[in-house]
Structure 1
Amino acid sequence: MSILTSILADLLQAAPELRPQLYFKSSLTALSHAMEDQVLAGLEQPLVIASFQRERFYRQEAHRYRRIAARTPQVYVLAAPETDFKSSSDVYESVAFDSTDGLSKEWHLVVLSPQSSTCLICREKVAPAPDNITVSEMDPSRRFEGIWTFDRKVASIAAELLLNRILVYRPELADKIQQAKNVYGLTHLSQPNESLAAASKKKATKKGKKQISSQNVTVNNQDAHSLNADPFVQRLVTYLQAGQYKLIKAYRSIASQEQKERLVNSITAAIRRSLNPDEIMQVAVQELGLTIHTSRCLIYYCKATDLHATITHEYLNLADSPEIPNVSLLGQIWTLKNNPLFEEILQRREPVYVTDTSTDPRLNNSPIQVLVQQLAIRSWLMVPVLYQDRLLGMVELHDSGPTEHCWKQYELELVEAIATQIGVALIQAEAYANLEDLNQQLEALDRTRANLVAITGHELRTPLSTIQVCLESLATEPDMSLELRQVMLNTALADTERMRKLIQDFLTLSRLESGRVEWHPEPLSLNECIDLAISSIHARNLNNDLPEISSQISPDLPLVRADGEWLVEVLVKLLDNACKFTPPQGNVTIKADSNGNLLKVTVTDTGRGIEPNRLQVVFDRFYQEEGALRRTTGGTGLGLAICRQIVNNWGGEIWAESEGKDQGSAFHFTIPMISSRSEPRRSGNTNKG
């Protein structure tokens, strides 16, 4: 059997003048113990009715009610059974009610005797505690709403209500309960609005004027007792309530600190697991959104000079905030320009929040107001991600609830702590990336050193060995013919020139990379520079068969602006490279096309070609396509690296194209043009000292 009605509700209906108060569980425990101690210390035999919500609460007080039952036969204990509790008539009457009964939400204790009365009728508040602080059933911060009074009329009504509820579960107790009603005068429930004195007068018509006089004296004595005891007990309850409020405040502080530590620990754990900033920020946005219970949480990268940012991480809570438009901002462009909150953060370097976007003067007539309306943002919090006053990103929280969100201090501190952790993670990831770049540079430097040793060992040792053999032959063979002596001398001179070119390339690249070159840009004719480069190639290869070199440059091309010596150097090295890998029956062609303010020069050959995956690395220092090339073609692998340094200096680009092996190759570079030929130009002296 289950009765859903509330004793408190019935009492308030019977006595509408009553005003319920708020009590904490600890206060109710103290009041109940005081009422029970009064029974144990007194000499009367009162009616005692105690209703416990659950058997577990009753078990803590069972020994006290055995002592109370030793003093009075009218003791009734009610509880919802969980293990052993059941309806029985032992030392006192126990009443096991259904767990779905309204009694399971209430706390009752009524003590009624001929000389005194006390009543405690409360119902537990089911609403959550403030600030989402959850409490357990045994927690002293649980809250109850109800009545606690010495008023005999109220106590009598409550006693009769409880006795009637006991009859529903224990009808066999009808005679005992009727006896209790007769002894303790419980006959006025049907007339709740009449005073106790009026009820006494009705009873006096049957029992005589003497009894009426005695009853009035009793009531007057009780009223006097209540006036004396009530102020002290009220002060005691006030003290208990104040202490409980302080305890709640301490719980709130501990809970917020625990939330902060848990969240910071989760971010720290993510940092330890990975140096990937995106993974860390994803953990942060989810944990922060869940902890603050906000509608939307955003984390994104931005700098102080940015006008826009891309939303990289988002937490969206649509379940608790149905008024939010079902629109994800992930990957969208977030406007920072003309955002007064972002501008305020740049000035103050502190969090900025808006309690109500509809009334905040900073957002009035602001372009950002359209975004606020589209996303239904009611309250807004922006916290910068800083490291040493450098802006790295932003954490934003949007609340779209029906009421404004007053950002609490612990929430601001929590978000700031997370923003600090994110800043540390970003700096660590940046430092790690820089370290990886440095390691790659060191590895490249180590490869360069190894290549330098290998190439110089090969390119210097081979000509030196030849020169040494030639000179030793000339010195030790005086009878050598003149013809053979000339061969020896020519061979030694050729290898000497080869060594000179090798050393010259080393020195040239070193000067270019260290920035020790003085540049002298001037208007130049590209045709003249190409003619000088072709002449230089033929002069260097008088005894070698070269492929056919042709220039297809229009004479009407505008002048270019560059340092003539270095422009010819680029052309010579590209032509030399093309001739080196092109057979004598092949062709090398030079072309030029205008492209805006730049002139694109192309050197094309029909030689060995380049594999597509090597088109970028051919410009690296000491690059050699394969080991055999060192022996068959020679060279240091510095020519194209020198070309890239020179072209980059005048703001141009250089790149290679090829269809693959034996498909030929094309090397392109760009050079600034001059639209007018009226500027004076330098004559073609291209010798570098």
Structure 2
Amino acid sequence: MSIQTSVLADLLQDLPQLRPQMYFKSSLTALSHAMEDQVLAGSDEPLVIASFQRERFYRQEAHRYKRVAEKSDQVYVLAAPETDFTSRSDSYEMVAFDREDTLSQEWHLVVIGQQYASCLVCRERQAPAPLTSEQLNFDTEVCDAALNIAGPTAGYVDPSRRFEGIWTFDRQVSCKAAEFLLNKILVYRPELQEKIEQAQRKFLTETSSGFHEIDPDPFAQRLVTYLQAGQYKLLKAYKSIADQERKERLVNSITSAIRKSLNPHEILKGAAQELGQALQVCRCLIYRCKETDVTSTNLHEFLSTGVSSLAGQSWPLQDNPLFQEVVQVQEPLYVAETRQDPRIANTPKLKALIDRFKIVSWLLVPVLDKGKLLGMVELHHCGATPQQWQEDDLALVEAIATQIGVALIQAEAYANLEDLNDQLEALERTRSNLIAITGHELRTPLSTIQVCLESLASEPDMLPDLRQIMLNSALTDAERMRKLVQDFLTLSQLESGRVQWHPEPLQLQECVELAISSARARLLKEQLPQISTEVPSKLPLVRADGEWLVEVLSKLLDNACKFTAPKGQVIIQARPNGNKMLEVTVADTGRGIEPNRLETVFDRFYQEEGALRRTTGGTGLGLAICRQIVNGWGGQIWAESAGKDQGSQLHFTIPIVEGSGEQKRPNKSDRRLGSRG
């Protein structure tokens, strides 16, 4: 049930001499409070009808209407329910109307006594294009509750909100408004008919107007009080705006200074200078740190005249109770007088620093990003008396700390972006090498295979010796293609983490022998350099996957033979490297490696002579595969060389079995050794 007639519209229709006025929200609030105060200050027992838009506005005024109800038994309160507001008889009559009713769009307060009458009837004037909550950057309902502006017009006091309506002391107008409202109450609560008829006989039969010896003092006092309060709030708002402007100007100035560079060192140095100058402190200290740091020495500071510097000093963090408290609560910490602080007094090392650098007042503000500590801002006052920093100054330091955090994260993001660009460039080079090498390595053997097969197919009378040569050539290049595909698949498995390792105790000597035997079998028709081993038989057992260990040794051996002349020499050596690792070296007297390429040789597709003009063959994947395998069991691999034509040494480490010394060889049935082909 809802009523679609407007009280304001009906009032203007019945009393055409009335002229509605425009009111601001604050004006209506002051008027409604003054009317209520007039009731509370008087001895009359008036009729009071208050219509609220929503229950939330009523709740802010409920305590006042309990006091009003003590003055009269003819008090009616209307509101659209939201939670527990219902139609019932309490200290006063409560009327819950439908939210679709036009009452939800209007505000009413009518007071009619024997000696006076007043009414306030208004409706909000709809703006042509109201601001959204996003544009205002706050929620209107939240502001209503926060400001707690009581009365039928309670709500957020927005200067742009205006209202059209009637406010008057005229008894005729007040009685007519009361008549309309009582009729609406009867629709929602017909059981109140007898009580409403009593009110009509008592209050609505009088048609005279005027004050009739009314005391206007409570009404006037309320309006004066409200005006004074408004003026005070206005002055306070102006001061707040001025302080905010100063704060924003300083923040913008400091932010601009620290964002001139993406170097973290320059950011902290600039922030310390700007903040120290802005607040005119004795010492401003800014440094990078983490929660677990013991000390900090990379300090950036601003110093006023006559203040000693902390540059190069080891600033305590782990043993500093103030720092630890800031880390724990992630909030600024202010010590007004360090000599009287028990945390400092109970820490002799910190107390000595306080005395040495004459720190009287101390402020610590953390630089945070998503709860992670990035650094610390400290302000030191070194004067004779303690420093009482203002709340606005503390807020400014917090704002600057936030900006420093943002600047540091941006600097780190830029550094990460540069690393990512380098990685992308390397990936692009890899892609280009992959295309070039794959094209060449696949095209060449495919061409040979195709020629051989076409010759065999088109020449059925070919001599047996020539036929065998053709078959051998095709088989050799098919094996070359198989190895290429196998290397691609092996590297892909290793880099994607799809390899399942099966570590076990192994004798290194057996793995070396298997690798040498495999290399000689693969390179049977080629003239190899002299291969020798220097692997002591009393070496401890190693823990590794046998197949992958033989694979590493085989590839390093192939690589050494490939770049060493037949008259050269390849030596496999092994020795303990600390208590937990065994170091294996494959040394040769071949072509050698230039010093600036000792790390690059382990990149995928790396070839010293270039992909398409090499003389030794291969794809450049061998050492990349070795690095992935060695990293897989927790070892390291590296290259050494005196330079071009000076030979090279490739080293890698293998974990030693714990407690293993000179031990009995394990059964061959318990080992899985062999080449991966």
Shared fold (TM-score greater than 0.5)?
yes
Checking the alignment, whether the CA contact within 8 Å between 2:640 and 2:648 is kept in structure 1 is: yes
- The 5 Å alignment of 1:474-553 reads 474-553=456-535
Tell me which residue corresponds to 1:374: 356
**1:364 Cα deviation from its structure 2 partner:** 2.3
3-state SS of 1:270 partner:
helix
Tell me which residue corresponds to 2:336: 355
Cα distance in 2 for residues equivalent to 1:688 and 1:379: 71
Q: Is 1:414 the equivalent of 2:396? A: yes
Tell me which residue corresponds to 1:606: 589
Cα distance in 1 for residues equivalent to 2:676 and 2:410: 48
3-state SS of 1:358 partner:
helix
Checking the alignment, whether the CA contact within 8 Å between 2:257 and 2:274 is kept in structure 1 is: no
**1:259 Cα deviation from its structure 2 partner:** 4.3
Checking the alignment, whether the CA contact within 8 Å between 1:349 and 1:389 is kept in structure 2 is: yes
**1:410 Cα deviation from its structure 2 partner:** 1.2
Checking the alignment, whether the CA contact within 8 Å between 2:254 and 2:275 is kept in structure 1 is: no
Cα distance in 1 for residues equivalent to 2:641 and 2:589: 10
1:438–1:607 Cα change, 3 Å: same
Letter in 2 for 1:617: T
Letter in 2 for 1:427: I
3-state SS of 2:525 partner:
coil
Letter in 2 for 1:640: L
Cα distance in 2 for residues equivalent to 1:360 and 1:249: 35
Residue in structure 2 matching 1:292, options 262, 279, 302: 279
Cα distance in 1 for residues equivalent to 2:517 and 2:257: 65
Cα distance in 2 for residues equivalent to 1:313 and 1:628: 50
Residue in structure 2 matching 1:265, options 252, 256, 271: 252
Tell me which residue corresponds to 1:334: 315
Checking the alignment, whether the CA contact within 8 Å between 1:602 and 1:669 is kept in structure 2 is: yes
Tell me which residue corresponds to 2:674: 686
Letter in 2 for 1:620: D
Letter in 1 for 2:249: R
Cα distance in 2 for residues equivalent to 1:288 and 1:628: 57
Q: Is 1:626 the equivalent of 2:614? A: no
**1:251 Cα deviation from its structure 2 partner:** 9.4
1:659–1:484 Cα change, 3 Å: same
**1:563 Cα deviation from its structure 2 partner:** 0.7
Tell me which residue corresponds to 1:649: 632
Tell me which residue corresponds to 1:307: 294
Cα distance in 1 for residues equivalent to 2:665 and 2:567: 41
1:537–1:687 Cα change, 3 Å: closer
Residue in structure 2 matching 1:567, options 539, 546, 549: 549
Tell me which residue corresponds to 2:649: 666
**1:266 Cα deviation from its structure 2 partner:** 2.3
Residue in structure 1 matching 2:303, options 316, 325, 328: 316
Cα distance in 2 for residues equivalent to 1:399 and 1:444: 52
- The 5 Å alignment of 1:126-145 reads none
Tell me which residue corresponds to 2:377: 395
Cα distance in 2 for residues equivalent to 1:269 and 1:572: 60
TM-score of the superposed pair, with normalisation by structure 1: 0.61
- The 5 Å alignment of 1:66-145 reads none
Checking the alignment, whether the CA contact within 8 Å between 1:644 and 1:654 is kept in structure 2 is: yes
**1:370 Cα deviation from its structure 2 partner:** 2.1
Checking the alignment, whether the CA contact within 8 Å between 1:301 and 1:310 is kept in structure 2 is: no
1:582–1:505 Cα change, 3 Å: same
- The 5 Å alignment of 1:207-246 reads none
**1:312 Cα deviation from its structure 2 partner:** 3.2
1:687–1:627 Cα change, 3 Å: closer
Checking the alignment, whether the CA contact within 8 Å between 1:341 and 1:352 is kept in structure 2 is: yes
Tell me which residue corresponds to 1:182: none
Cα distance in 2 for residues equivalent to 1:340 and 1:309: 15
Cα distance in 1 for residues equivalent to 2:531 and 2:384: 81
- The 5 Å alignment of 1:448-467 reads 448-467=430-449
Query: 1:204-246 deviations in whole A, cap 9, x for unaligned?
Result: xxxxxxxxxxxxxxxxxxxxxxxxxxxxxxxxxxxxxxxxx99
1:334–1:363 Cα change, 3 Å: same
**1:688 Cα deviation from its structure 2 partner:** 4.0
**1:400 Cα deviation from its structure 2 partner:** 0.9
Cα distance in 2 for residues equivalent to 1:683 and 1:382: 62
1:662–1:551 Cα change, 3 Å: same
3-state SS of 1:380 partner:
strand
Checking the alignment, whether the CA contact within 8 Å between 1:528 and 1:684 is kept in structure 2 is: no
Tell me which residue corresponds to 1:64: none
1:279–1:262 Cα change, 3 Å: farther
Query: 1:303-338 deviations in whole A, cap 9, x for unaligned?
Result: 222222233311122x2xx3x4x3x32243322113
Residue in structure 2 matching 1:556, options 525, 538, 557: 538
**1:389 Cα deviation from its structure 2 partner:** 1.7
Letter in 1 for 2:515: A
Letter in 2 for 1:301: R
Checking the alignment, whether the CA contact within 8 Å between 2:590 and 2:648 is kept in structure 1 is: yes
Checking the alignment, whether the CA contact within 8 Å between 1:301 and 1:392 is kept in structure 2 is: yes
**1:628 Cα deviation from its structure 2 partner:** 7.2
Cα distance in 1 for residues equivalent to 2:258 and 2:339: 38
Checking the alignment, whether the CA contact within 8 Å between 2:546 and 2:674 is kept in structure 1 is: yes
Query: 1:439-484 deviations in whole A, cap 9, x for unaligned?
Result: 2222221111111110000111100000001101110111110000
Checking the alignment, whether the CA contact within 8 Å between 1:529 and 1:684 is kept in structure 2 is: no
Q: Is 1:579 the equivalent of 2:561? A: yes
Tell me which residue corresponds to 1:405: 387
**1:359 Cα deviation from its structure 2 partner:** 0.5
1:594–1:436 Cα change, 3 Å: same
Tell me which residue corresponds to 1:219: none
Q: Supply the RMSD in Å over aligned alpha carbons.
A: 2.2
Checking the alignment, whether the CA contact within 8 Å between 2:258 and 2:271 is kept in structure 1 is: no
Tell me which residue corresponds to 2:218: none
Checking the alignment, whether the CA contact within 8 Å between 2:437 and 2:612 is kept in structure 1 is: no
3-state SS of 1:341 partner:
helix
Unaligned 5+ residue runs, structure 2? 1-231
3-state SS of 1:632 partner:
coil
Checking the alignment, whether the CA contact within 8 Å between 2:546 and 2:671 is kept in structure 1 is: no
Checking the alignment, whether the CA contact within 8 Å between 1:302 and 1:309 is kept in structure 2 is: yes
**1:354 Cα deviation from its structure 2 partner:** 0.4
Checking the alignment, whether the CA contact within 8 Å between 2:255 and 2:400 is kept in structure 1 is: no
**1:249 Cα deviation from its structure 2 partner:** 9.0
Cα distance in 2 for residues equivalent to 1:311 and 1:412: 24
TM-score of the superposed pair, with normalisation by structure 2: 0.62
Cα distance in 2 for residues equivalent to 1:427 and 1:655: 34
Checking the alignment, whether the CA contact within 8 Å between 1:267 and 1:280 is kept in structure 2 is: no
Paired positions, count:
439
Identity of aligned residues (%): 68
Checking the alignment, whether the CA contact within 8 Å between 1:259 and 1:291 is kept in structure 2 is: no
1:629–1:457 Cα change, 3 Å: closer
**1:431 Cα deviation from its structure 2 partner:** 1.5
Tell me which residue corresponds to 1:23: none
**1:377 Cα deviation from its structure 2 partner:** 0.9
1:331–1:262 Cα change, 3 Å: farther
Letter in 1 for 2:296: A
Letter in 1 for 2:285: L
3-state SS of 2:543 partner:
strand
Tell me which residue corresponds to 1:227: none
